[in-house]
Amino acid sequence: MTSTESLIGGDLRVRRLGFGAMHLPTDPDLARKNSLAVARRAVELGVNLIDTAYMYGGGANEELLAEALHPYSDELLITTKVGVARSGPDDEWRLDGRPAVLRDQVEQALRRLRVERIELLQLHRIDRETPLADQVGTLRELRDEGKIGRIGLSEVTVGELDQARRIVEIASVQNRYNLLDREHEPVLAACEAAGIAFLPWRPVAWGESGQRAEVAAVAAEVDATPTQLALAWLLGHSPVVLPIPGTARIDHLEENLAAENLHLSQAHRDRLDRLDRLGDAGSQGTTR
């Protein structure tokens, strides 16, 4: 039976199936009320790992979670990300890992989330125009000041992970990864070897039609939805994987969490594992 719990940073115990809050609408209307209900229902169902970021609405997503869930239970971990900002003459989102920007975004996240310390803070992307040592070093300073508990990275290579680990301990990596998109398998392997939590974003995505058919066939055999099948495969693929599927619907949330109870035989796993060797089914995503 696949374990339903895992540790982040060696000491933060979380349920392995978390929740990605990116898709929750934050506008002040009925959709926002639904978003609050979805976030609260996730916690009611035992989710204690929720992922957000400054980029999700320029902090609006963080404020939504605080409105829904504050004061937080001791077991709840809300992780957020910094390092993407609106800049330039067109005011578009761009990578921005300058130390002053990272510091300001962390301070603002503390205020919006209504906490004194962010237990897991992830660098949303590595800014190629700022030395990695400056970006990770700034987060290390904020950790030493008590404003961050643990540091994570997102969308990194094995080499970048190694470089960052020479500067500070890395507790998590958040890369794009799913049943049909395993480009970052080497990064996952590096995380598993080092005991680093791996939070796949876009944990459910479908590739070419033939591969979708195979997923549907296996799902029918185990009496599950394709989404549940994809999440169950992730949970059994590596003990450091902590999927964070997102949704704005309570029924989809409940469907996702039910994947913990799905048993896949070795024969089913072998069929799903082979999908990665049938061709490039991955899809390149925009910054998330």
Which residues carry out catalysis? 56
Q: DSSP states of 41-101 as a string?
A: HHHHTT--EEE--TTTTTTHHHHHHHHHHPSPPTT-EEEEEE-EEEETTTTEEEE---HHH
| Cβ count near 246 (within 10 Å) | 23
The number of residues making up the chain comes to: 288
- Tokens found for residue 123: 């660098």
- In 3D space, the residue among 177, 156, 178, 176 whose CA is nearest the CA of residue 167 turns out to be 156
Rounded to whole angstroms, the Cα distance separating 271 from 288 reads: 30
